[in-house]
A and B are shown apart, each in its own frame.
Chain A
Amino acid sequence: GAVVSQHPSRVICKSGTSVKIECRSLDFQATTMFWYRQFPKKSLMLMATSNEGSKATYEQGVEKDKFLINHASLTLSTLTVTSAHPEDSSFYICSAGPGTSGIDEQFFGPGTRLTVL
C-alpha cells in the first residue's frame, strides 16, 4: 500500500518558537494532503486541507496564521506551528491519497508528537 511519512516523530520546543512538521508521500504523488490534530484521549480533528500549488483550506476555528501550511511539491506538505505555546502541544497527523479508482483513499502518516514547554 501507499506509504506516508512524517518528520519529526517527536519534537519538544520552547514557548514562542516555531516548529515545522513534514509530511511526505513516499511512493505516490498527492495533490491534496490533510492535516489532523489529536488531543489526548480525543478524536482526530481535521485542521486543514493542503493543496499543491495553492493556498491551504482551513477548517473553522483553526488559525491560519498560527498553523502555516505549504504544499511545495506533489510529495511534500509542511505544517509550521508558529510562536508555539503549551496549548499547541498535541499529536499532529497527516494523510494523503494517490487518488486512484475515483476514490481518494487516505493513508496516514505515523504522526508527530509536539510538546511545547
Chain B
Amino acid sequence: AQSVTQPDIHITVSEGASLELRCNYSYGATPYLFWYVQSPGQGLQLLLKYFSGDTLVQGIKGFEAEFKRSQSSFNLRKPSVHWSDAAEYFCAVGESALIFGKGTTLSVSS
C-alpha cells in the first residue's frame, strides 16, 4: 500500500540549531516527493520537490532534502532554524493526487 510516514509528531529545536525532519515512503512507482509547510490556519506552501536527477534538492527558506532510494526516505533539513520556521511540516508523495504524512509540528525555542 502507498503511504508516507513521518515518525516524529512534534519536534522542538533551539533557534539557530540545525533541523532534520524524517519522512519515509512506500510507493510502487518512481516517487515524486514533496515537502510542504503549513502555518496555523493557513494553506500549504511548497518547500521543495523531487522528481528526478540530483538526489539533494534545494528549496525555499534555506531548506533542503535528500532522496535516498535505498532507505525509502526523503528527509528535510535546515542548518539553522529561525523562530519563524515554527509550523506544521508535511511530507507527501504522488504523481497528481498526493498522499500525505501525518505531519510534524516544529516548535522553535529561544
A106 to B32, CA, bound (A): 11
- B49 & A113 in contact (Cβ 8 Å cutoff): no
Q: Quote the shortest CB–CB distance from A96 to chain B (angstroms).
A: 10
B53 in the interface, Cβ–Cβ < 8 Å? no
Q: Are A93 and B103 in contact (CB under 8 A)?
A: no
CA distance A105 to B52 in the complex (A): 13
Q: Given known contacts A43-B90, A43-B100, A103-B32, is B43 in contact with A109 (CB within 8 Å)?
A: yes
Number of A-B contacts (CB under 8 A): 47
- Choose, from B62-70, B79-87, B91-99, the stretch at the interface: B91-99
- Number of contact residues on B: which range applies? 20 to 34
Interface SS majority for chain B: loop
Among B32, B51, B100, max chain A CB count under 10 A is at: B100
- Residues of A contacting B44 in the complex (Cβ-Cβ under 8 angstroms): 44, 93, 108, 111
* A91 CB, nearest partner CB in chain B, Å: 8
A75 at the interface (CB under 8 A from B): no
Q: Are A49 and B95 neighbours in the complex by a CB distance under 8 Å? A: no
Give the complex CA separation of A32 and B100 in angstroms. Answer: 19
A41 to B10, CA, bound (A): 11
Q: Which residue of A lies closest to B43 (CB)?
A: A110
The docked-state distance in angstroms from the alpha carbon of A43 to that of B53 is 28
Chain B residues with CB below 8 A from A67, complex form? none
Interface set, chain A 93-109, CB cutoff 8 A to B:
93, 95, 97, 103-106, 108-109
B97–A43 CB distance below 8 A: no
Expressed in whole angstroms, the minimum distance between the Cβ of B37 and any Cβ of chain A is 12
A113→B41 contact, CB < 8 A: yes
The 4 closest A-B pairs by CB, nearest first: A110-B43, A104-B96, A43-B102, A108-B44
